[in-house]
Chain A
C-alpha cells in the first residue's frame, strides 16, 4: 500500500497558486477551521448549560422564571451531542483527508461550504427556539411532545448539511481512487470515508423521522404521529451517532497515536477490518435504548442484544492494537524488559497524554455499556442518572479527550503555528483536570443512578420522600465535578485561542503513522464500499423490518401533538 508521505499527487483541478498552508491547500484549511470554530463554541455554551444543570439538580441554584431546567438540558444535548460532534468530525476528517490524499477536490469544497452554511443556520435556528423556551423537548424530541415547528426545520437543515458534507467526502475519496488504480487508499482516508458512510445511514433515519413524519405533523398537515415509530427511527440515528464519534476518535488512535509515540501502525489491514465491522454491525445497536419499550417481543429484544454485542469484537481488536503499537515502539527503541516500553512512552507530550487518558476512560465506559445493554439488567439502570454517568464517560471523557488531543496538533497545523512548552504543560494539566472532573461527576451520577435517582429531572425531593434523601450528597458531588469541568473548558479555550492566533509561527505536523507490516497489505476490495454498504443494509434489515412492519400495521391510531411548554 501507499503512504501519505509518498503521495505528492494532487487531484486535478487543484489551484496550484493557492499556496499550501501547513501542508494542505489553504482553502481546505479554512473550511476545516470554520467547522472547528463552531464545534468549539458548542463546547463552551453546552458546557455552560451543563454547569448550570449541575447547580440546579443539587439545589444550589434556582433558575429565573424565563428559562426552565429542561431548556438548558435540551441545549446541552443538542449542542454537545449533535452540533459539536458533527462539526468536529467534519473539520478534523476533512483536514486529515486533504493531507493524506493531497488536497480536497474543488467540488468537495463547494459541498463542504454549502453543508457548513446549512448546518450553521440550522444550529442557530434550533438554539434560538430552545432559548426562547419553544422547544423544551430535549435532544431526543420524543413525539408526541411537540416543539415549535421551525425548531424541527433547524434540525432538518443540520441533517441536510451533514449529508452534503458526506457527498463532498465521497467525491474526493472516489476521485483519488480513480486516479490511483490498483492502490489502496491511505488508512486515514479509509477511516474518514467510513465515518461519512455512517453519517449517511444516521442521516437517512433521522431525515425520514424529522422530514417525513415530524414536520408535517408539527405544521398540522397530519393530525397524528406514532410515537413508537419515532423512538425506533430516532435511536437508529442516535446509536449510529455514537459509533460516528467512536470511529472518528479511534481514527486518531490507530493512525496518529503511533506517529506521536515514534512508532508505527501495528497492522493497517486489521485496522481496516475493525472499521468495516463497526460500519456493518452498528445501526441495530439502536434498539438497546428500547429494551423496556412495549410492543417489541422478548425474542426480538434478545436478537438486538446480540447485535449490540457484536461491536465488542472490534473493540477487543482495538485494545490489542493499541497496546501492541506501544510495545513495538518501545522495542524498536531498544527496550528489552517486560514493561519498560510502558515507561518510555512520551507521557509529557500532551497529544499522547490526552489520548492515553481517553483510552483508559474507555475501559469503565465500555464495561458500563455492556451492563446497560445486558437485556434484563437494563431494567435496573434504564433512565436512571447512571446512564447519564455512562454518557459522560463515553462521549464526555473518551471522545472529548481524544478530540482535545487532536486539537493540539490540528489547530497549530491549520494556523501555521507551534505548540510551546508552556501550552503543552497547560494541555497536560487540562487533561488531568478534565478527567478528574468527569470522574467525580460521572462517579456520583453512577452511584445516584443505582440509588434510584432518575435522569432528566429537575431538582425535586419528591415531597421529602426518604428514597430521594440519599441522593443529595452525590448531587453535590455532581455540582463540584461540574465546576471543575467548566474550569477545564475555560483553560482549554485559552489554549485553543493561543494555538490559533498567538503561538509562535512554525510548522506543525499532522501525525500520520506508517504501516509496520507493509508486506501484509489489505486486499483491494476493502476499498469497495458498495460491499460494506450492502452488508450494513442487510444487518439493518434483520433488526428493523419486523418491528417497523409491526408498528406500521399495528392499528395504533397515533397521537395528536402536546405542545412543550
Chain B
C-alpha cells in the first residue's frame, strides 16, 4: 500500500488541523466550562406534575440578579407562562416533561436543550440585553407543536 507523498502531506496536514480543532473544543468544554447541557438525573414522568421540585411555579431569587425556575414542558405549553427578569440576570432553568420529548430553545441566545421524559434537564443563561425573547419548543411533540411557545422579557 504505497501512499503518494503528496497524499501523505495532505493527510498529515489534515489530521493536524483536526487535532488542533479538537483541542480547542476540549479546552472550551473542560477548561472554560462551555460544554453542552448534560444534567443526569431521572424523574418519573407520570409524577412530574405532582413532584415537589416542580410545585414552586415561578422565578425564585437565589442571589443578586440570580434566579432559579423549574419549568414543565408539556403538550403544548411551557409552565409557568411568560417570565420577566431584570437586565443582567442569570437564570437557571430546570426542566422536565410529563408526556413526550420537547425541545427548549430561547431565540437570540444559546439556550437550547432537549427535555426527554424520565430525565431532568438543566441550563443557565445570563441575559445581558433587554428585550422580549421567544421561548419555543424545537422538537416535534405532536399536532400542536407549533403553538408551544412563551416569552421571557428582560428589562
Contact = CB atoms under 8 A, between A and B. Distances in A.
Nearest to A319: B10
A462 interface: yes
B117 A68 contact: no
A378 B117 contact: no
B58 interface: no
Interface stretch (B11-19, B59-67, B83-91): B11-19
Interface stretch (A188-196, A308-316, A336-344): A308-316
A555 interface: yes
Interface in B1-52: 1-4, 6-7, 10-11, 14-15, 18, 22, 25-26, 28-30, 34-42, 44-46
Contact of A320 (B7, B99, B133, B142): B7
Contacts of A138: 140
Given A273-B1, A320-B10, A378-B36, A294 B114 contact: yes
Contacts of B151: 465
A458 interface: yes
A539 interface: no
Interface stretch (A223-231, A255-263, A499-507): A223-231
A465 B11 contact: no
B112 to A, nearest CB: 5
A96 B93 CA distance: 55
Contact of B113 (A294, A384, A457, A458): A294
Nearest to A458: B146
A378 B38 CA distance: 13
A292 B114 contact: yes
A60 B39 CA distance: 41
B134 A462 contact: yes
Given A375-B25, A380-B112, A557 B7 contact: no
A537 to B, nearest CB: 24
B71 interface: no
A531 interface: no
B139 A558 contact: no
A309 B19 CA distance: 10
Contacts of A468: 134
B149 A465 contact: yes
Given A302-B26, A452-B105, A227 B116 contact: yes
A301 interface: yes
A457 B145 contact: yes
A136 B75 CA distance: 15
Interface in A516-565: 517, 520, 522-523, 550, 554-560, 562, 564-565
B112 A379 contact: yes
Nearest to B28: A376
B124 interface: no
Given A458-B146, A557-B44, A292 B7 contact: no
Contacts of B6: 320
A132 interface: no
A313 B15 contact: yes
Contacts of A290: 114
Majority-rule SS of A interface residues:
loop
A312 B18 contact: yes
Contact of B108 (A269, A294, A317, A452): A452
B79 interface: no
A228 B103 contact: no
B69 interface: no
Nearest to B118: A556
A382 B112 contact: yes
Contacts of B46: 557, 560
Contact of A312 (B10, B14, B38, B136): B14
A522 to B, nearest CB: 7
A227 B40 contact: no
A301 B36 contact: yes
Nearest to B39: A294
Q: Which of A290, A456, A462, A468: most chain B CB closer than 10 A?
A: A462
Contacts of A295: 38-40, 42, 116, 119
Contacts of A70: 140, 143, 145
B121 A294 contact: yes
Given A312-B14, A555-B42, A376 B36 contact: yes
Contacts of A316: 10-11, 14-15
A559 B38 contact: no
B147 to A, nearest CB: 7
A517 B2 contact: yes
A390 to B, nearest CB: 15
A119 interface: no
A80 to B, nearest CB: 17
Contacts of B35: 298, 301-302, 375-376
Contact of A462 (B115, B136, B140, B141): B136
B136 A454 contact: yes
A142 interface: yes
A375 B11 contact: no
A476 interface: no
B62 to A, nearest CB: 21
Contacts of A465: 132, 134, 149, 151
Interface string B86-104: 0000000000000111010
A213 interface: no
B107 interface: yes
A142 B1 contact: no
Closest 4 CB pairs between A and B?
A452-B107, A454-B138, A460-B146, A294-B119
16 contacts: A70-B145, A145-B142, A227-B116, A269-B2, A293-B114, A295-B42, A302-B29, A375-B36, A452-B134, A454-B103, A462-B136, A465-B149, A467-B107, A550-B40, A555-B42, A564-B143
Given A294-B114, A382-B103, A457-B146, 16 more contacts: A144-B117, A228-B116, A267-B2, A298-B29, A316-B14, A317-B11, A376-B25, A379-B36, A380-B112, A452-B108, A454-B138, A457-B140, A468-B134, A520-B1, A559-B100, A562-B75
